[in-house]
Amino acid sequence: MNAGWLYGTLFLFLLGTVGWKLFTRFHVPAPDMLGALFMASILAILGYELPFPSNPITLVSKLILGCYLGLMVDRTTLRELRRVLIPAGIVSSWMLILSLASGYVLYKVSHLSMETAFLGSTAGGIAEMAILGLAFHADTVTITILQLFRVLLFLIVMPLVARWNVYRAQVKHDFSSPNQLVMPTNSQDQSLKNHSTTSHVMLLLATLLGGFIGKALGIPAGDMLGAMFGVGTANTLVGDLPPVPPVLRNYARIAIGLAMAQQLTPETLERLSTLVLPIALLGLLMVASGILLSRILQRITGWDTGTCLLVSSPAGLTQMSIIAEEVGANPLVVSVLHTARLLSILTVLPFLFKLILLS
């Protein structure tokens, strides 16, 4: 039996790796998680069930992803956030309100459960919302499809609008650069830097201690959020913690995708076919909200239109920062404000959802 679990799990991870590489080639957002979900879903739809120990594997994966998110927080990040405190507060509050409003609308116009509707329309990360979906026993496949639609929508629409506005401003010789910020150095890009054994042990202890405290307290996705707080606190107080190896993060997200595929059934796909109109409505609401928020930010900060549009687009932090550089906006501002948006979503919304669902 143990050998069967082992071989089944190894085969699924191999399948997930193939999906990851395939989706990376086609530039799909979150290719590791979505590629694994896609490949494992084919097996599930065809009726093949391979043994997969979801609980222990997803626990380890959530601790790894929480550790990665916690490393985004250090003294430099907090200092830069203070310099853009007002716009960061506006963006974070706006995204929280948008998530609640769009979740309520989606719940009312669809057959989805309240948990699935709210998490599917939340302006957070694809993998992170899937993890919260597992914690709330929601339909994670539907959540992922809704989240993927949102990310793809903003990756397609907002860069085009931003590029057009930047070009128009340059033609008019009226382009004013945003306030300069120093890129946060908490980065996981420092992989070539040597770190002591003590710093690795400290990172591991902060991850485990925070994760298990969060889980013991019964917080939704408490293992991931606890690890994030534990590592973020340690990184802020001590600093110089080592980065999470990129491949480790990739395989943590692959594991989440494989765990989500275990919930997929032919009935799930049939239910999704009825979501075309609700998804279209959700897309219009979010795009209109992003454009309105960018106008408000531009009036308050004086930043260029391209930067304000990308800051107001609830897509991936990494993708938006890269696009900002490509279209001539300010990637530093975009990176810092999306960090604030993601952290506020992951910190506040689980508690709000719990209160809403219990009421």
Q: How far apart are CA 194 and CA 12, in angstroms?
A: 34
Q: Which of 261, 249, 254, 211 is nearest to 231 (CA)?
A: 211
The pair of three-digit structure tokens given for residue 256, joined into one six-digit string: 């989440």
Cβ-proximal residues to 179 (8 Å cutoff; 6+ apart), any chain: 83, 84, 301, 303, 333
The pair of three-digit structure tokens given for residue 204, joined into one six-digit string: 């591991």
Q: Report the sign of the C-alpha dihedral through residues 218, 219, 223, 229, in that order.
A: negative
Tokens 């599917």 identify what position? Answer: 120
> Domain range for residue 163?
2-173+193-358
In a domain, 182, yes or no: no
Tokens 């909200």 identify what position? Answer: 289
Model confidence, pTM: 0.69
Question: Total domain count for the chain?
Answer: 1
Q: How far apart are CA 107 and CA 125, in angstroms?
A: 20
In a domain, 183, yes or no: no
Give the domain CATH number at 331: 1.20.1530
In a domain, 178, yes or no: no
Q: Work out the number of other CB atoms within 10 angstroms of the CB of residue 105.
A: 16
Residue by residue, pLDDT tens for the chain (359 residues) are: 467 678 889 999 999 999 999 999 987 767 888 899 889 988 877 877 777 888 899 899 989 988 988 898 888 777 777 778 899 899 999 999 999 999 999 999 888 899 999 999 888 878 888 888 888 889 888 888 888 788 777 866 776 676 676 666 666 644 444 444 444 444 454 444 677 889 999 999 999 999 999 889 877 678 888 998 999 999 999 877 999 999 999 999 899 889 878 777 666 667 667 778 888 888 888 889 999 999 999 999 888 888 898 899 887 666 676 577 667 777 768 877 887 888 888 888 888 887 877 66
Listed in order, strand segments (DSSP E) in the chain are: none
Q: How far apart are CA 168 and CA 213, in angstroms?
A: 52
How many residues appear in the chain? 359
Express each pLDDT in 316-333 by its tens digit.
Answer: 666 676 577 667 777 768
Q: What is the largest CA-CA distance in the chain?
A: 71
In a domain, 186, yes or no: no
Express each pLDDT in 271-318 by its tens digit.
Answer: 667 778 888 888 888 889 999 999 999 999 888 888 898 899 887 666
